[in-house]
Chains A and B, each alone.
Chain A
């Protein structure tokens, strides 16, 4: 699996967009980018994933650069409840292998008033 690099921490004002970057310069053509978050001591929660195209769902948007070497998770209107650790994971989606996710240390997002 490709290695990912994320900033250790970020701050965002409530109501503003939170843009969380992730570098994955060694990503392979068949690897997806996944984002999870973990609110204090709770189980991680899946947010979104993408392969090449930008993706949007009810929680967030995912922007992947054309060369796929980096991506940005966007929370369009951050709230205090979005305060969490955000994990960027790169992984193949091969049903013949186990879905063994590797969680690094992630980015701690603090949303403030």
Chain B
């Protein structure tokens, strides 16, 4: 079974709709992240969470919100979707770990979101 799962895997929605992307992990990691990827570009960080009481904005948080319902669950919401939020969204987890392994992140399979 996958350690990091994302639902849905694909979603088409209309402008103005509210949509939630969900991420679950069985790795027992405290830290979780949401990234988006646009065609031909690298990944950009939207939000990250150290634990259930800690939520932090990434570089492109405008238009998005998150909820950390439990250690294992981290949801990303688009309150009113717009076409330029069409992208591939990835969830990731990491463990504080020690030294270099600290920046080893484990990614989910991604959610392809299309906003019409």
Pair from one complex? yes
Residues of A within 8 A of B (CB): 32, 34, 41-46, 49-51, 87, 89, 91, 93-95, 98-106
Contact B106 A46, beta carbon cutoff 8 Å: yes
Distance (Å) between the CB of A76 and the closest chain B CB? 21
Pairs across A and B, CB under 8 Å, 22 listed = A32-B99, A34-B103, A41-B110, A42-B109, A43-B4, A43-B92, A44-B90, A44-B92, A44-B105, A45-B107, A46-B104, A46-B105, A49-B100, A51-B99, A95-B97, A98-B31, A99-B102, A100-B58, A101-B103, A103-B44, A105-B41, A105-B42
B52 contacts the other chain (CB 8 A): no
> Once the chains are docked, how many angstroms separate the CA of A96 from the CA of B110?
28
> Once the chains are docked, how many angstroms separate the CA of A93 from the CA of B103?
7
Contact A49 B96, beta carbon cutoff 8 Å: no
B94 contacts the other chain (CB 8 A): yes
Q: A32-B100, A95-B102 are in contact. List 6 more A-B contacts (CB 8 A).
A: A49-B100, A49-B103, A49-B104, A94-B102, A99-B105, A102-B45
Chief secondary structure at chain A's binding surface: loop
Contact A103 B42, beta carbon cutoff 8 Å: yes
> Once the chains are docked, how many angstroms separate the CA of A87 from the CA of B35?
15
Contacts of A104 in B (CB 8 A): 42
Find B99's partner among A42, A93, A103, A106 (CB 8 Å cutoff).
Answer: A93
> Once the chains are docked, how many angstroms separate the CA of A93 from the CA of B94?
12
> Once the chains are docked, how many angstroms separate the CA of A98 from the CA of B40?
26
Query: Most B CB atoms within 10 A — which of A49, A93, A101, A102?
Result: A101
Distance (Å) between the CB of A1 and the closest chain B CB? 10
B56 contacts the other chain (CB 8 A): yes
B64 contacts the other chain (CB 8 A): no
User: Looking across the interface, which residue of chain B has its beta carbon closest to that of A46?
Assistant: B104
Q: A98-B56, A100-B48, A103-B43 are in contact. Are A43 and B103 (CB under 8 A)?
A: no
Contacts of B42 in A (CB 8 A): 87, 102-106
Find B103's partner among A32, A41, A105, A106 (CB 8 Å cutoff).
Answer: A32
Distance (Å) between the CB of B21 and the closest chain A CB? 14
> Once the chains are docked, how many angstroms separate the CA of A104 from the CA of B43?
7
